[in-house]
Structure 1
């Protein structure tokens, strides 16, 4: 006779509440209160941090792209001003 357990799938809301509880108390205490393994809460916390880090990286990449475009525009404008200054310097003499 095999002892098979069905896997329980917890909702995202449950995971968030468990993580909040773990922040207030501790991971082992939260696991004990919720009848979970502490490793589950540690895994959820790791995934939550990874998700927030990837969002932060995406925001930084978008900001980096915006700043690169702005820098390219500024460089182009500076080049135009340099050419204009050279042109007027030659023609004022």
Structure 2
């Protein structure tokens, strides 16, 4: 209902939509602010999820490089004896 009311407010204006729906214009403004905040939060969460995935890939690469380096160190330590 809120999404439809906000879509109507976008089409005909907040005051006209409020009159048509029997609401106060301030209610539509509050709904719009909450919807915008939710959208911004969703965008931020997506950004954080992308960053998290990138960091996980980077950690996996670094862990693999460390394991290879340790194996090489053991190999060369044995060959020095």
TM-score clears 0.5: yes
Partner of 1:39: 26
| 1:75 to partner: Cα distance | 2.8
Structure with larger RCO (C-alpha < 8 A, sep 6+): 2
Q: Which residue of 1 aligns with 2:45?
A: 58
Q: Given the alignment, which residue of 36, 40, 46 partners 1:49? A: 36
**Quick one: distance in 2 between partners of 1:76 and 1:15?**
49
Cα distance between partner residues in 1 of 2:3 and 2:41: 18
**CA RMSD for the aligned pairs?**
2.3
Q: Tell me, which stretches of 5 or more residues in structure 2 are unaligned?
A: none
Larger fraction in helix = 2
Which structure 2 residues correspond to residues 11-90 of structure 1 after superposition, within 5 A?
14-79=1-66
Q: Structure 1: where are the runs of 5+ without partners?
A: 1-13
TM-score (norm 2): 0.70
CA shift digits 1:7-62 (9 cap, x unpaired) = xxxxxxx2121101011111111112112111100000111111122222222222
User: Normalising to structure 1: TM-score of the pair?
Assistant: 0.63
Structure 1 residue 84: Cα displacement = 7.7
- Number of residue pairs matched by the alignment: 76
